Structure 1
Amino acid sequence: MGNERKNVLEYLPQKIASEIKNKVPDIEQILEIRIRVNKPICVRTIKKEYVIDEIKIENTDMNRIFNIITEFSTYAYENSIKKGFITVKGGHRIGICGEAVYENNEIKYINNVSYLNFRSAKEIIGCANDLYEKLYKNNIFKNTLIISEPGKGKTTLLRDIIRLLSDKGKFNISVIDERSEIAASYKGMTTNDLGIRTDVMTAFEKKDGIVMAIRAMAPDIIAVDEIGNKEDIEGLYFAKQSGVGVIATAHGSNVNEKVTKYKDLFKKYIYIEEIGEYECI
């Protein structure tokens, strides 16, 4: 690890951060901060939601926040912005909504940003201690899919499984970190601990990263977050056909549906019902 983790509140103007600190008893439990022009701030923690109506966000506030998260250089973040999010130091992902600008049938940029969703990254070392050994036997990894609804801790659990498989299982792992949420890489350095045998490919689209990692890094396991489209699945099948194990996450509330859909790809399924509560199938 090469970066000190920044608190998500550090990306907000002082008056807004101070008001949140005054209203939210335990800022370490913050999961999301939703900021909308002309609306109160909504803060969701592990246990409840707080509506902070003492401050109404104005356009000037939004512009200032946007300058902070882009380090006063929107051009440097252009590729991320057009995808609808920015990942900042510490692995926090900030969702962006505004007016789309199209060029050649593709989104070129997002103008007049009026809505932001700060998703606070959480690293919980040891949360997979009683789980990771169930995922391999005789040094053979069982392809694994982690399933839950949004905000239940899929990425947090994935991150610790990667660390343990790398350090204790002694697997070489390539992480394809498309949104920089797993490793929390910032300017080439990772914030999160993914283990001593783990390599990280940041900002690669999953399929491209999987193919390149297999050819260049010879991993035992490929790890990716939030699979869904056809290209993601094609990349994972390429890994399987290449003799490389895969571990991934996916949104969902129906385990049986995922088992039926991916029965040829995954052998183990982990369902997270609530934060910290999971079942291994």
Structure 2
Amino acid sequence: MEEILRLFPELIRKHVQAKIGKRWEALQEIRFRLNKPIELVFDHQTEWLTEIKPSQKDGLHVLNQISQFSLYRLEDELREGYVTIEGGHRVGLAGKVNTINGSVKAIQHIAFMNIRIAKEKIGAATTILPYLHGENYANTLIVGAPQTGKTTIIRDLTRLIASGWRNVPAKKVAVIDERSEIGASLKGIPQHNLGFRADVMDACPKAEGMMMMIRSMSPDVLVVDEIGSKQDVQALMEAIHAGVVVICTIHGQTLSELKKRPSLHVLFHHHVFERIVVLNKQKTPGQVNAIYDQHEHNIFSKKYMGVTPY
């Protein structure tokens, strides 16, 4: 986790490293607030570094490390409120917002940061994989609140589909990785294992990237993280009409909640998703609460839990 530790000034780095110890696998977030104790969020508990409170100088140090001493080059990311760093880790930012004509231009005077730890968990998707494949892969929506493991699951699904499992041959998979979280690409090369037949469009807006990959890479399966806008939905519909299987994630708590969103109406009206996987926020990230078919029947059974696809 050197890419995380290098962000901090030396004294804070030593305290953080000592507090975490050998528990990096259980760490979900490091919350860094000026003049307040540092918060460490683990899978099952939250702990605090009360002996040290970051100063404004410490905050500037972290921002310089994140931006490589050029906040200007991160103007688009600052407008979105987060920056993805090496390793696929995402740093959320908050502070005073600068607006123009009512729209956010950037975040200034950043005083709050949330470092979300990206984790590559090989085998994380093996529980749900048997539900997603019949004669072919099913168009699939993975639903979950923050920290439920959506990206971890979709990353491992990509690896399995692009490498093949049991007697199922590998498929060509196109990954639209807008925030560089799925593949954690460095200069275009994924640092996470996405399988033999995966092609990645890194740091590209989802809607544009989907169309580009369909035209240029002829994928069997299209993977995209965190859909939601009307443009995303339109691109998904075009991909499906082109005969490409779509697997994507979305922020949400329940299926009924998603069906109330106007931008998603067309997807549910046409029963686009043959499988809808709902993750459980109350358990360890990646745990499944329900799997619905296109008729919204819950087909999830614990008898498949732990089944290996290899």
From 287, 302, 305, the equivalent of 1:277 is 287
In the alignment, structure 1 residue 20 sits paired with structure 2 residue 27: no
SS in 1 for 2:62: helix
Task: Identify if the C-alpha distance between structure 1 residues 14 and 29 changes in structure 2 by more than 3 Å, giving closer, same or farther.
Answer: farther
Larger mean Cα displacement after TM superposition, 253-262 or 81-90: 253-262
Q: Distance in 2 between matches of 1:130 and 1:58?
A: 45
Structure 2 contact 37–53 (Cα < 8 Å) conserved: yes
Match of 2:159 among 163, 184, 194: 163
| TM-score, scaled relative to structure 1 | 0.91
Q: Size of the alignment, in residue pairs?
A: 276
* Amino acid in structure 2 at the alignment position of 1:245: V
Q: Go from structure 1 to structure 2 and tell me whether the alpha carbon gap of 1:255 and 1:104 turns closer, same or farther (over 3 Å shift).
A: closer
Aligned-residue offset at 1:143: 0.3
2:4 maps to 8
Contact 1:222/1:244 (8 A) holds in 2: yes
Contact 2:178–2:204 (Cα < 8 Å) also in 1? yes
- Aligned pairs for 1:225-264 (under 5 A) are 225-258=225-258, 262-263=267-268, 264=271
- The AA in structure 1 aligned to 2:150 is K
Structure 1 residue 38 and structure 2 residue 38: aligned?
A: no
Q: 1:83 aligns with which of 80, 85, 101?
A: 80
User: Percent identity at matched positions?
Assistant: 37
Per-residue CA deviation, residues 174-225 of structure 1 (Å, 9 max, x unaligned), is: 1111111111112222111111111111121111111111111111111111
Instruction: Give the residue type in structure 2 aligned to 1:76.
Output: R
Deviation at 1:256, TM superposition (A): 4.1
Deviations 1:135-185 (A, max 9, x none): 1222x2210011112101111011000110110041111111111111111
CA displacement, residues 42-68 of structure 1 (integer Å, 9 cap, x when unaligned) = 110111101212111111000011001
| 1:130 CA drift (Å) | 3.7
CA contact (8 A) 2:8 2:58 kept: no
Greater shift, 142-151 or 122-131, is seen at 122-131
Preserved CA contact (<8 Å) 1:21 1:27: no
Any conservation in 2 of the 1:6–1:89 contact (CA below 8 Å)? no
The equivalent of 1:73 in structure 2 is 70
Partner of 2:204: 204
Amino acid at match of 1:14: E
1 CA distance for matches of 2:54 and 2:70?
22
Aligned to 1:145: 141
Query: 2-side partners of 1:277 and 1:151: how far apart?
Result: 11
DSSP 3-state at the match of 2:6: helix
Distance apart, 1:257 and its partner CA: 4.1
4+ runs deviating over 4 angstroms? 103-106
Cα 1:104/1:196, change in 2 over 3 Å: farther
SS of the counterpart of 1:223?
strand
Say whether the 8 Å CA contact 1:95–1:116 is kept in structure 2: yes
Deviations 1:104-138 (A, max 9, x none): 65433322111111000000011122432431222
Secondary structure of the residue that 1:17 maps to in structure 2?
helix
| Corresponding residue for residue 114 of structure 2 | 117
Name the aligned partner's letter for residue 279 of structure 2. Answer: I
CA contact (8 A) 1:146 1:248 kept: yes
CA distance in 1, matches of 2:133, 2:212: 25
Q: Which amino acid is the alignment partner of residue 57 of structure 2?
A: T
Letter in 1 for 2:116: R
- In 2: Cα distance, 1:123 partner to 1:211 partner: 27
Question: 2:7, 2:61 within 8 Å by CA — same for their partners in 1?
Answer: no
Greater CA drift, 227-236 or 97-106: 97-106
AA in 1 matched with 2:234 = E
Cα RMSD between the aligned structures?
1.9
Which range is displaced more, 235-244 or 70-79?
A: 70-79
Structure 1 residue 9, shift from structure 2 partner: 2.3
The residue that corresponds to 1:47 in the other structure is: 44
**Using the alignment, how far apart are the partners of 2:36 and 2:80 within structure 1?**
24
Q: Mean Cα displacement is larger for which, 85-94 or 106-115?
A: 106-115
Cα distance per residue 1:2-51 (max 9 Å; x no partner): xxx74422322221122123333523321111111111111101111012
Equivalent residue letter for 2:8: L
